[in-house]
A and B are shown apart, each in its own frame.
Chain A
Amino acid sequence: MYESPIKEFFRSSLKNFNFMIGAIMFFSILVLAVFADQIAPYEYDAGNPAAKLMEPCKEHLFGTDEMGRDLFSRIVYGARITLKVAIIGGSIQLVLGVVVGLFCGYFGGVVDKAMLFLADLTWCVPGMVMALAVVTVIGTNLTNAIIAIALVNWASMARTVRAKTMSLKNMAFIETGVAFGESDLSLMFRYILPNIVPALIVMVSMALPSTIMSTTTLSFLGVGSQPPSPDWGLMVSDGIQYITKAPWLAIYPGFALVYTVLSFTILGEGLRDLLDPRMKSQG
């Protein structure tokens, strides 16, 4: 009689092509990252001077690089880095966006104006330029690159949360909450936030591809992960030097990157359709 929304979600998710494909692709990356130690035949930093720049063959599925490291193993371990980027980068953006957006949308006033101004500022400067500046200031390593990208990207999330909060704030059930003696914090996090969770899920899954791409770009430019890290961006950048002699060095990490970004994008599209209330009645 009363189906829980979670059950309903799973039931309709089976019918959603985008969601299923995206989920399967994402799951495969997850497996690679979690079981990297079991799946990868070699260590990611174990060089073999006797097997430099080998073409893909039986022992080395994707070939080897200029130091004789197995490319396949490096890509498998690289999945961990990419997921780390997605999780940490996504969480920072999510937390910043939700907290700032909720407070601004709920209270309004001077703080809201100031935050809005700050958000507009981050939109004026091209994101990559600003991220480069931030990384240069706080130091070049992967964690800082993730932080820099999150600092550049949180504003759009905060704006959406703010807009949703402002419209929800005037709904009758918020007034009910006030009339029942709920505090502002409780209204924000227990009344408004749950109502924007579907939108948040979609926003995050849409933000992840660009987060991964940007962070990888920073690594490619040499201000993110440092060697010998098996970061895909770094591997592409290293492989470029051998593009004529050993094209697989740049191509395979590139494919891995495209595959990952695509999985998040397709998953995001699927989630958006699934969580869109207008689609529900047809389910």
Chain B
Amino acid sequence: MNDELLRLENVFINYRVRGGYLSAVKDVSFSVNRGEIFAVVGESGCGKSTVAHSIMRLLDKNAVVLGNIKYNGKNLMELSNKQITRVRGHDIGMIFQNPLDSLNPVYTTGAQVNEAIRLDGINKLDGWKKVIELYRNVKMPDAEKRVHAYPHEMSGGMRQRVMISMMLSRNPSLLIADEPTTALDVTIEAQILEIIGQLKKEFGTAVMLITHNFGLVAEVADRVAIMYAGELVEQGDVFEIFREPKHPYTRLLMKALPRGTKQEGRLQTIDGTVPRLMKVQPGCRFANRCPLAKEICHNQDPAVRALSATHTYRCHFAEEEV
């Protein structure tokens, strides 16, 4: 059975900048299956948004993407501009980090959702009915009235709901959610996540959830990939990762999570900072912050090792204690 919807194979993304290339993403491979929630976790600037944008070919002109990005067997990188326009929205939907300016300020939100519906050839009147239905789907309070509201008359959570309903209207099989709740407060975050979880159940939509919030991953994701400085350091089933994190970075991240139950004084942090990606040296990119780092870590790229069929990691010494 082929449930594989999206597959990235050895994707490298470099930004052409003044004075050379910045290696934003290095050798990333993963796949997203139909109807699952796949989370990509990492700190700011680790390349997770770059990966997401590269799938939709939304990167700036100075980005160079190498490798294969396959959607349903089609290589997205080889499509013409016209063909990729068709894929956007129709096959793959995307919602963005900041719902506050993701909507056109001069149209009512309902009109914008209706617009998206009509891209698939539904007439305007039926469109309005569908908009209200969609607003109800995303639990918009007062749906009939809110279709006539302008974006500035809505809260961030409502706007994100509008974005989701807009995306829903095209019924894509994959939704890329680029930090959908980062700009929202915790209660709204929970509601939005609930809606995303519902999408998966009701419409069988696969979701690629990009976040820096590990707690959120534990709640909704089926599988998870952890990125550090442009490298995918570990990926696997969410239970495997939380039960048995292998890569030292993942393990340290877990320790840095605040836990409500135990009082252990200060939160643990990871010393050091993310390396500059302009000067790319061989070796593990986490080496300079890693407590396990040895000579080999600084000189040689660690190979991807598999712990099980689903759980892989990229480290020389993952067996040792941190």
Contact = CB atoms under 8 A, between A and B. Distances in A.
A176 B95 CA distance: 8
B37 interface: no
Nearest to A197: B106
Interface stretch (A94-102, A131-139, A179-187, A203-211): A179-187
A180 B103 contact: no
A197 B107 CA distance: 13
A181 B87 contact: yes
Nearest to B106: A194
Interface in A252-282: none
B172 to A, nearest CB: 10
Interface in B135-184: 145, 148-150, 153, 163, 166-167, 170
Interface string A164-182: 0000000111011111111
Contacts of A195: 104-106
A179 B58 contact: yes
Nearest to B176: A179
B276 interface: no
Contact of B96 (A1, A5, A175): A175
A178 B58 contact: yes
A180 B150 contact: no
Contacts of B106: 194-195, 197
Contact of A183 (B85, B98, B108, B163): B85
Contact of B145 (A1, A172, A173, A180): A1
Contact of B103 (A173, A178, A197): A173
A2 B150 contact: yes
B166 A180 contact: yes
A36 B100 CA distance: 52
Interface in A33-47: none
Given A181-B87, A183-B85, A176 B96 contact: yes
B240 to A, nearest CB: 32
A179 B101 contact: no
Nearest to B86: A181
A183 B86 CA distance: 9
Contacts of B98: 172
Contacts of B58: 175, 178-179
B88 interface: yes
A172 B102 CA distance: 5
Nearest to A192: B104
B56 A179 contact: yes
13 contacts: A171-B101, A172-B96, A172-B98, A172-B101, A173-B103, A176-B166, A177-B104, A178-B58, A179-B89, A180-B170, A181-B88, A191-B104, A194-B106
Interface of B: 56, 58, 85-90, 93-94, 96, 98, 100-108, 115-116, 119, 145, 148-150, 153, 163, 166-167, 170
